[in-house]
Chains A and B, each alone.
Chain A
Amino acid sequence: MEIVVFTKRVPVTQEEELRILGDGQSVNLSKLPFRMNDWDNYAVEEAVKIVEKGGGGVTGIAIGDKEADEVLRRAIAMGAKDGILLETEAAPHDPFARAMLAYNFLKKENISFDAIFTGVQAEDDQFAAFGGILAALLKAPFAAQVIGTDTVEKDHLVVRRELEGGLQERVRVSLPCVLSIQSGINEPRYVSIMGVRKASKVERKVLKAAAYAEDAKSLIEVTQWVYPPKKEGAAMITGDVGEVCGKLLGILKEKGVYQ
């Protein structure tokens, strides 16, 4: 199978304080570390596992600035055969515009594929939409939140989709198709610094995204950035580690769960 995986370079914000700039006009991401979107790790791993077993190749694609090459190197280090960067200083934020750009690229460059994988969502914008929009533009079948690829055949896949509350749905999808891959589907392989260095010797194509911008216009706009409304919030317990632990055990006793 030939599998194309769209990957994204995202800021790591979990333990960072984010500041909104200029009266709500932007979010300051300048001091943050960046890395491959976590869900895309699982998508690349699943694609590589499938071709390792049944033959074929994996191509990593990223839309972004020069720095986004970092995620292509990582994808190659994980087992992708090559990578393509659709280079732009201002990657569209709107998932429709991003998907249209990807669609135009696939058509114009005549990229053939049996399947396209993406992560379920990107850590930064959490849209969970790029894969579904791209599938619809390609008029290809789509399955989101894939947590297992049970059967891989020449003309179809049988996959398990994660639903809610521990329930899954098994569906049969014809090829070529688009899947969004859920975290936890596999165990992404460890990538060493040496591995990435070796991967950087594999040539990555760089194409100007502007060549594929036709109809790739944003259908939504962000008018303002705001902080989430504050709720009442927690009563904060302060002190040194011994004090806070003592107070914590006190609360547990009071609630009757600890003697």
Chain B
Amino acid sequence: MSDGLSDGYVLVVAEVRRGLFEERNLDTIGLGKFMQKPVCLLLPEKVSGVDHTTIGKVIKAETEEGNFQNPLTMVSILGKVFESYGRPEYVLFTHSSSGAECAAYAAGSFALPLITDVNGWDRDTGTFFKSYYSDKVFAQCKAAAQPSILTVRSGSFREQVTREASEAAVESIGAFAATEGRAFVEYVEEAGGAVDITKADFLLSVGRGIGSKDEIPRFEELAQAMRAVLSCSRPVVDKLWLPKERQVGTSGKTVKPKVYLAMAISGAFQHIAGMKDADCIIAVNKDPEAPIFQYAHFGIVGDVNKMRDKLLELAKNA
């Protein structure tokens, strides 16, 4: 076993996209720090944007990003890390497309406990908070064995990141080839559309709660009357009510308008992540318990379609 890693270290598996260290990694590093454990960061060959003063040790897997973010290769890499450095107490992934994919595959391969979408940690009980039922309740979860694998919700622990006395040492654990079963082909950019919602000062954003596609033209009319740009949440795009270019959220666009008027959007965290930095968030929803009211500056409980019609009437007569 190599030196420098005590029992009970936390292995943070980096998410790297097109050579860049994703900002979400600060939440996995932050959780390790919050638990006061030595943090060891696992990286692929080529990556920029890592602050080596925030971690205890860096392990490099000599492999391309496309292999590193491949769950089949990741399991080989983790096996080698466990063999070389001993098993960590926790293996942390970002709760992202690739993080969740690799975490689940690793949990199955090593028969380890898995808790996903972790957004909090309770020091007294050692339990992790995990969201259920679209953030309406949280469960405090405990793993029966170690190591356990966690995926960490973006934005949850980044303020816990602290600096170490010195820069992390970097060690290589060797090369890893592409796997037979799955191979990276290429990145594909979704085609851009005619409208850029990231440039708007005022977004009128609609969710599935408006009821049906038939309601969309009236919202378009309202957006026009108020000189707002129409955007939406993911379910509206999935249902083909509006094109993908209008989608706000993790898998869509991140927006920062002066005013974000959310109508019939309940506020899944993937949506919140895309609009929480708006100067002013106004939420209209018929469910008083909708999570979006926790993030909004102003809230209105009511029927969105009735409000839309009234707003349209007032805006037109103004």
Contacts and interface: CB of A to CB of B under 8 A. Distances in A.
Interface of A: 11, 13-18, 20, 27, 94-96, 99, 123-137, 140-145, 158, 160-174, 177, 180, 183-184, 187, 218-228, 230-231, 233-238, 241-242, 244-246, 248-249, 251-252, 255-259
Nearest to B294: A231
Majority secondary structure, A binding face: mixed
Interface stretch (B25-33, B84-92, B104-112): B104-112
A184 B184 contact: no
Contacts of A162: 97, 251
Contact of B234 (A177, A184, A246): A184
25 contacts: A15-B266, A126-B134, A132-B107, A133-B104, A160-B188, A162-B97, A164-B250, A165-B250, A167-B188, A168-B189, A168-B190, A169-B187, A219-B148, A220-B114, A223-B127, A228-B131, A228-B291, A234-B283, A234-B295, A244-B307, A248-B307, A249-B314, A255-B258, A258-B227, A258-B315
B96 to A, nearest CB: 6
A255 B141 contact: no
B310 interface: yes
A258 B100 CA distance: 42
B185 A170 contact: yes
Nearest to A24: B140
A12 to B, nearest CB: 10
Given A142-B182, A235-B298, A255-B259, A222 B106 contact: no
B71 interface: yes
B253 A145 contact: no
Q: Which 5 A-B pairs have the closest CB atoms?
A: A132-B104, A136-B108, A234-B299, A141-B181, A133-B108
Interface residues of B, number: 105
Interface of B: 17, 66, 69-72, 75, 96-98, 100-101, 103-109, 111-117, 125, 127, 129, 131-145, 148, 179-190, 201-202, 209, 226-228, 234-235, 237-238, 240, 244, 250-254, 258-259, 261, 266, 279-283, 286-287, 289, 291, 293-303, 306-307, 310-311, 314-315, 318
Given A142-B71, A222-B139, A224-B139, A129 B104 contact: yes
A224 B127 contact: yes
Nearest to B290: A15
Interface centre among B69, B140, B143, B295 (most CB of A within 10 A): B140
Interface centre among B97, B141, B244, B300 (most CB of A within 10 A): B97
A139 to B, nearest CB: 8
A132 B101 contact: yes
B105 A143 contact: no
Given A143-B182, A183-B238, A234-B298, A219 B117 contact: no
A162 B97 CA distance: 7
B301 A236 contact: yes
B182 A141 contact: yes
Interface centre among B112, B114, B254, B281 (most CB of A within 10 A): B114
Nearest to B237: A184
